[in-house]
Amino acid sequence: MSYKHLSLEERHYLELEQKAGTSINKIAKKLCRHVSTLSRELKRNTGKRGYRNRQANELAQKRLKEKPKSIKLTVEVKIYIDEHLTKDWSPEQIVGRLKDDMSISLHHETVYQYILKDKK
């Protein structure tokens, strides 16, 4: 099951309903969310002036950007990509073969981004 982040609209609704004194259970049912999702949202994003949806959204976006990504583009993988790019392979072909040859799963967009960074 994939995790879906709260939208700004959901955060706005959460803020309004919480200020109105609505229980988290009722808010969760209305938003079709699990209670623990909203509880976690409130815990992470409530400041000194209470829960504010825009501030909560900014904090969530900041955490998302700062989240450590697994490093798959090692020197060895970059060399592999470069070798296959010189053979005019597409990023889709490269990631397909990379999985077979080195047991590494990359998205073809990662290869495109790597190509763009190298051209700068």
pTM of the model: 0.58
pLDDT digits (tens, 9 = 90+) for 57-98: 999 988 888 876 667 788 999 999 999 999 999 999 999 999
Residue type, 4: K
Would residue 2 count as lying in a domain?
Answer: no
In total, how many domains does the chain have? 2
What pLDDT is recorded for position 4? 79
pLDDT digits (tens, 9 = 90+) for 97-110: 998 998 888 889 98
What pLDDT is recorded for position 104? 87
Four-residue CA torsion sign, 20, 24, 25, 28: positive
Range of the domain at 104: 75-119
Would residue 102 count as lying in a domain?
Answer: yes
Please tell me whether residues 62 and 87 are part of one structural domain.
Answer: no
Residue type, 105: S
Would residue 62 count as lying in a domain?
Answer: yes
- Catalogue the E-assigned strands of 49-91: 50-51
Please tell me whether residues 114 and 95 are part of one structural domain.
Answer: yes
What pLDDT is recorded for position 8? 95
Please tell me whether residues 58 and 79 are part of one structural domain.
Answer: no
CA torsion, ordered 88, 90, 93, 96, to nearest 10 deg: 130
Rg (CA), the chain: 21
Please tell me whether residues 46 and 22 are part of one structural domain.
Answer: yes
Look at residue 1 and tell me whether its pLDDT is greater than 50: no
Residue 11 CA to residue 6 CA, distance in Å, equals 7
pLDDT digits (tens, 9 = 90+) for 19-40: 999 999 999 999 999 999 999 9
The residue among 2 and 113 whose pLDDT is bigger is 113
